[in-house]
Amino acid sequence: MAYIPPHKRQTKGSPSLNPIPAPESLMRSDFNKFRTRNVGYTILKWFSVGLANELKFSSLVSFQPLSPESFETKAGLQPLSLVSTHQGCSEGINNELIQTPWLLIAANVKKDLLLSFQHMKREMEEAVMAQVNPSVVARFGKILFYGSSSIGKDSLKLNSLTETTLRKMKGSFHTDVPPSYMDYVENRVVENLGQEYVQGKELYYVKLSDKLRTESIVPCKCTVAKDHNKIQLYKIELNRVRHMVADMSILGKSSDLRLFVYTKKIKMALSDEEINEIKDLIDSAILDLEVPGGIRWPLDKRHSSGARYLVNAIGHTTTKSYIN
């Protein structure tokens, strides 16, 4: 009988844990258009997790159209969510799903994690700046797909949807999760981990493009000012360089998963004049919960007084900190 290495053995009735061969793409990181010159390589991949028999993917998975008002749209395309055809029928879908999807996730990303760690280690060793902060982050949310003219409508119909087709589609990761999910994490998961609540904070994120440094962005973290109608600059964050981004559609679950590895390091030293110009732009913003991101600028003037910095993206989070 041929010898089977321990990591390739499987118990009776369990799914194969062989990793997906090779990353879905290994490319120069134009994942962020402002970092094409300085990043090196980033591993970008997507895969689905959950089906006991992957050969049944086309017959068990379909698209569910989502409201464009609820999610970000791309060039007028309607966002689509990947769902099981047995949605709402617990008995039917449970027979088709594996019971331990996290084992398959670990097997599929292990090789790419090690490769991204090697890239990250090399960057840290070669970095001129002393401060390089490595991070591994997992986020829960929903992967949204957007059709394109190169993909025919027949390819998106039931029984013809394949993972190959999905990899050709544009996608995004929507990080909003249901309130019930956050309640579960706060009331059950935190307690089980033995952690205690420390503090909560409202944070706003403003990414600025620099007219003089077109290959870079200036990420600003902001807090709510005392008058509660403005935001103020908290700190200018370090530049983030992504080494791996793995998106996973978790079939049969309400949330998908994104795992990414990145480093943060200082690429430039801003002068007092540059910092003041950024502060003035941030200070001119107005809190408005009715607009995306929660902030807007008077007369939509999203550029600094010297026209050097332009608002590229904004975001808003409510963070809660816990300690062991």
**Bridge partner residues of 81 (DSSP):** 64, 144
Q: What is d(CA 2, CA 31) in angstroms, rounded to the nearest whole number? A: 44
Residue 156 confidence (pLDDT) = 53
Contact 166, 278 (CB under 8 A): no
Contacts of 92 (CB under 8 A, 6+ apart): 86
Q: Give, for all 324 residues of the chain, the pLDDT tens digit.
A: 444 444 444 444 444 444 433 344 433 333 333 333 344 578 888 888 877 766 666 666 777 777 655 555 555 667 777 777 665 555 555 667 777 888 888 888 999 999 988 888 887 777 655 567 788 888 888 888 876 544 545 545 544 677 777 777 777 888 776 778 788 888 888 888 888 888 888 899 999 988 887 767 888 999 998 777 889 999 888 777 788 999 998 887 878 899 989 887 765 678 899 999 999 999 999 998 888 888 999 887 888 888 899 998 898 888 888 887
pLDDT of 73:
54
Q: What is the pLDDT of residue 276?
A: 92
Contacts of 174 (CB under 8 A, 6+ apart): 71, 72, 141, 142, 143, 144
Q: Three-state SS for 181?
A: helix
The type of residue at 134 is P
Take residue 76 and report the two structure tokens written for it: 């007028």
